[in-house]
Amino acid sequence: MKILALADLIVGAEMLEAGLATMPELTADLTIREWRHDSVEHMQAENLLVEQHGPQAIGVPEGIYDDLADYDVLITGFCPVPASVVAQGVKLRAIGVLRAGVENVDVAAAEARGIPVVNAPGRNANAVAEFSLGMILAETRDIARSHEQVRGGVWRPGFPNTDAIRELSGRSVGIVGLGQIGQIVARLLTAFGAKVCYFDPLVDSAPYPRVEDIVELAKQVDILTIHSRMTEATKRIVSAEVIAALRPHAVLVNTARSGLVDEPALIEALREHRIMGAAIDTFDTEPLPPDSPFLTLDNVTITSHLAGTTLDSFARTPVILAERLMDTLRGS
């Protein structure tokens, strides 16, 4: 079984081979090529285009797929696999994706040719959940703002939300999307004594109250944290209406996809102080341009798309994929 695997700056060749080696069948005839970039920032910028517009949004790396017709399995991380590439894989039995989603693969084209697309769900669930909790604390307790001020030589005892700072214990937190990440976030918040409720049409049963309408959820909570998968159905699910429904002391947290949130509506709400604050790790344009309104706001914590970035999550990814891929291949 000939396998072509594409490494990148996130999951490098050595890490990729070590993870796939947990299933020896995957490394018996393995070719690893690298999707090269000058920097992680450059790769992330291209990845954002793919996430927003599909695998055809950027050009296919020259030469990387030239002999795809010889391979039985294709494994990719962030490198796009548009329909034109799928058509070249005349022997492909499966396409593996080293990520929780499959945004960089034309799944419809693969399915039309009977090629299953296998991903690595939960690969960075712990990383994103822990980061989300950190973002909640950073924004509600002014950790990042105070750090910035002290480093600038200013010992500032108060910020715009000083008179409204509360502890997590007893606060109501709404989770949008109770998948693997959302469930871990819920457990962490519960350990802090927070009261968790959720909106997720795909999850009928959970040990937390389910709210059937996302606008109603927004009306009830002190913190709204977003963990849905990005699909056509969830695009801008946190709409202007949802943001308007948040209470004046509420905080919105997004460590998922920027496309889940109506970014202009959020900026307007923050600028007009109609909500207390926000903590955002993903943006419609990355890196943030120098004239981004986010850079002018005094009630937001912003980070550079870091939520899933841990060595543990990177190393775990090919291991998860290897097992799922072999299950698929053995069943085919």
Under DSSP, is residue 226 helix (H, G, I), strand (E, B) or coil?
Answer: strand
Assess whether the previous peptide bond of 289 is cis (omega < 30° from 0). no
Q: Where are the alpha helices (DSSP H) in the chain?
A: 13-20, 40-53, 83-88, 107-112, 125-140, 143-151, 180-191, 214-220, 240-245, 263-271, 311-331
Give the tokens for residue 14.
């050595």
Q: Which residues contact 191 (CB under 8 A, 6 or more apart)?
A: none
Catalytic residue among 17, 130, 268, 286: 286
**263 an active-site residue?**
no
CB neighbour burial string for 127-156, b if at least 16 within 10 angstroms, e if fewer: bbbebbbbbbbbbbbbebbbeeeeeeeeee
How far out from the chain centre does Cα 135 lie?
Answer: 14
**257 an active-site residue?**
yes
Report which residue type is found at 19: G
Please tell me the distance from the alpha carbon of residue 297 to that of residue 70, in angstroms, as a whole number. 54
Catalytic residue among 93, 171, 227, 257: 257
For 45, half-sphere exposure in the C-beta direction (CA atoms, 13 angstrom radius) is: 10
Catalytic residue among 99, 171, 305, 316: 305
**305 an active-site residue?**
yes
Give the tokens for residue 20.
């796939």
Give catalytic residues, as residue numbers. Answer: 257, 286, 305
